[in-house]
Amino acid sequence: MPDPYHVIDLFAGPGGLAEGFCAARAEDGTRRFNIALSIEKDPAAHKTLLLRAFLRQFSGSFPDEYYTWLNGGSGQPDWQTLYPDEWLSATEEAQCLELGKKAADRAIDARLDTIVAQAADRCIVIGGPPCQAYSLAGRSRNSGNKDYKPEKDQRHFLYREYIRILERVNPALFVMENVKGIVSSNINGKTIASQILDDLRNAGSKGVGYRLVSLGTRDSLFNESEELSMRDFLVRAEEWGLPQARHRVIIIGIRNDLWEANADVGLAQHMPAISRDVLKGLPHLRSGLSKETDNLENWRAAVEAAYVAILRETRKSDTKVHDKAADRLDAFRTRNAALDRIEQGVPGVSSRCPDTLAQWILDPKLRRTYNHEARTHIRSDLGRYLFASVFALVHKRSPKAGEFPKSLSPKHENWNSGDFSDRFRVQVWSRPSTTVTSHISKDGHYFIHPDPLQCRSLTVREAARLQTFPDNYVFLGNRTQQYVQVGNAVPPFLARNIADVVWRLLASGNSVRRSGRDLFVSEAGSEAA
C-alpha cells in the first residue's frame, strides 16, 4: 500500500473538510490522507480544530478520558499532561494563524517547505477562502453601506493566498470550496469567477498547471476544463446523501502531468436523506423563556396560550392546521412533565436513516448528547415557532409571512412587504433542511425545529447533525461561537465522499467504462451505480 497523501488544510474552520479526508481508508484500514497542516485564524474554531487534531493521533479509538468527559465528566481533561506527545503533534498540525499576514506567512512557509520535503510528490491542498464577501447575504449587507468599496475588501482576494500556497507547494491535487454566490460576485461590474478559474488553472510551479474537475453533474467530470464556467462547479449536497440542501462551489484541480492516467473516474450514487433522519432520535428538549422567569411551569403556560391563539384564528382560515394544532395540544398536555432545556439522553437517529449516514454520525460509546442545549425565546416567538411547525406538518413546507395568524405577526414595518416572507422558517421533517449558515448564531428564526411539542430553534448539535458532523465531534467556545463554526463548516460526510473521488483521480484503476458511461467501482470490484 503506498504512503498516504499529506494534506494541507487552509482556512480550516473547525475541520469539517479534513475530517472527511481522514476518514478515507484503504482495505487494510490505513488512512489514505493524513493532515499535515491545518490553518485557522479564529481562536474559538481553532480550539475545536486542535482538539480534533489531537484525537486523530489515536488510531482505532479515542482515549477513555474523552468519553468520560463527554458522558458527564466534570470538565475537559488536561490533554497536554495526559498525552504530551500526541498533544505536541496536534499543535504542530493545527495552527492559529491568519493567511496574508507577513509574520504568519513566514511561519506557514517554513512549515510548508518541511512538508513538501517529506511528502515528495504526495501532497494535496484543501480548503475554502472566507466567503462573506461572495455570499448573497454578505453582498446584501455591503450594498447598504454607502462607504463600502468592493475593490478594497480584502476578503474578495483571499483566494490569492490559496493560489500563493499552490505556487509554493505545487501539490498533486487541490480542492477549493466556496459559497455559490461566488458564481455571480463582481467588482465594479466585472465578475471575478473567470479570473479565479484562470488563476487556478495556471497555478503551481514549472508551468504545468491544473485541469479543473467538476463534481456538479455526473458528466462534467470528463469535460474539458477550459469549457467549464464557475456554475458548472456547483455541488448540491442533497445529491450526495446529505440531509441538507447545501449548494456550494467545489473545484478539484489535478496537475496536468497527472491527468491523462487518471481520466477514467466515475461518481457513486448516494442514498437520499432528509431532516427527519438525523433530527429524530435526539433527546427532546423544551425551549427556554427569555425576559421572564424560565421554568417548566411558565413555559408550558406560554406554549398552551399559543396553542389556544392558533386554534382561535385558524378555525375558519385553515381547518387542517386547526385540527392538527388541536391534536398536538392534546399530545402537549400529556407530555412528560420533566422535559428540560438540557437532556443527558443517549443520541440516536431515525429508523429510516440510511445506514452509511447513521454509522457516520453515531458513536455507541456516547451516553450523553453533547452541544445539545436549547436557546431561550420570548413568548411571542414561541407562538410563531409553534405555528410554523404545525403548519409544516400539514402543508409540508414552511409558512410565508402572510399565512401567520394576525396575533402572531411581529410589529415589523416590512412584515407584509414581501421582502421578508420567510422571516420565520421551520425545517420540514420530510425534506432535506435548508442551508445551515453562520446566521444561526444570531437567532433561531430561520432554523425552527419541526416538532411542535418542543417549540424551539435548533441546538448546536442538531445543526451539526444536518451538517453531518459525528456526535463525538465536540465544538468549543461559547454557544454563539459554536453555531458560527457549524454554519461555516464543510459537511464532513460530503468531504468523505469527495475524498473517494480524489483518491480515484490520484490512484486511478478503480473505474471502468461501459457503454460510454463511467460507473463507480468499489475496491472489492462491485458496482454502486
Give the pLDDT band of residue 191 (cuts 50, 70, 90): confident
Is the pLDDT assigned to residue 177 strictly greater than 90? Answer: yes
Catalogue the active-site residues: 131
Mean pLDDT, to the nearest integer, of 109-113? 97
Give the pLDDT band of residue 186 (cuts 50, 70, 90): low
pLDDT of residue 526: 34
pLDDT of residue 384: 94
Which has more confidence, 135 or 72? Answer: 72
Give the span between the Cα atoms of 126 and 7, in whole angstroms. Answer: 7
Give the span between the Cα atoms of 20 and 490, in whole angstroms. Answer: 9
- Give the cell for residue 362: 453515531
pLDDT digits (tens, 9 = 90+) for 484-501: 999 999 999 999 999 999
Give the span between the Cα atoms of 326 and 322, in whole angstroms. Answer: 6
Write down the residue that cell numbers 488512512 correspond to. Answer: 31
Is the pLDDT assigned to residue 390 strictly greater than 80? Answer: yes
Give the span between the Cα atoms of 56 and 135, in whole angstroms. Answer: 32
Which has more confidence, 260 or 379? Answer: 379
38-47, 255-264, 267-276, 400-409: segment of lowest average pLDDT: 255-264
Task: Round the average pLDDT of the chain to a whole number and report it.
Answer: 86
Mean pLDDT, to the nearest integer, of 393-412? 88
Mean pLDDT, to the nearest integer, of 329-348? 81
Is the pLDDT assigned to residue 296 strictly greater than 80? Answer: yes
Give the pLDDT band of residue 195 (cuts 50, 70, 90): confident
- DSSP letter for each residue of 450-503: S-TTT-SBPPHHHHHHHTT--TT-PPPS-HHHHHHHHHHSPPHHHHHHHHHHHH
Is the pLDDT assigned to residue 394 strictly greater than 80? Answer: yes
Is the pLDDT assigned to residue 219 strictly greater than 60? Answer: no
Residue type, 494: L
Set out the domains of the chain in order of their start, with CATH numbers. Answer: 5-273+490-520 (3.40.50.150), 275-353+375-458 (no CATH)
Nearest to 289 by CA among 278, 301, 279: 301
Cβ within 8 Å of residue 193, ≥6 positions away: 182, 183, 184, 185, 229, 230
Give the pLDDT band of residue 187 (cuts 50, 70, 90): low
Give the pLDDT band of residue 218 (cuts 50, 70, 90): low
- Give the cell for residue 463: 445543526
Which has more confidence, 388 or 204? Answer: 388
pLDDT of residue 459: 97
Q: What angle do CA 409, 415, 421 make, to 5 degrees?
A: 100
Give the pLDDT band of residue 519 (cuts 50, 70, 90): very low
Share of the chain above pLDDT 90, in %: 68
Give the pLDDT band of residue 223 (cuts 50, 70, 90): low
Give the pLDDT band of residue 135 (cuts 50, 70, 90): very low
Give the span between the Cα atoms of 16 and 18, in whole angstroms. Answer: 6
Share of the chain above pLDDT 70, in %: 84
Give the span between the Cα atoms of 457 and 467, in whole angstroms. Answer: 16
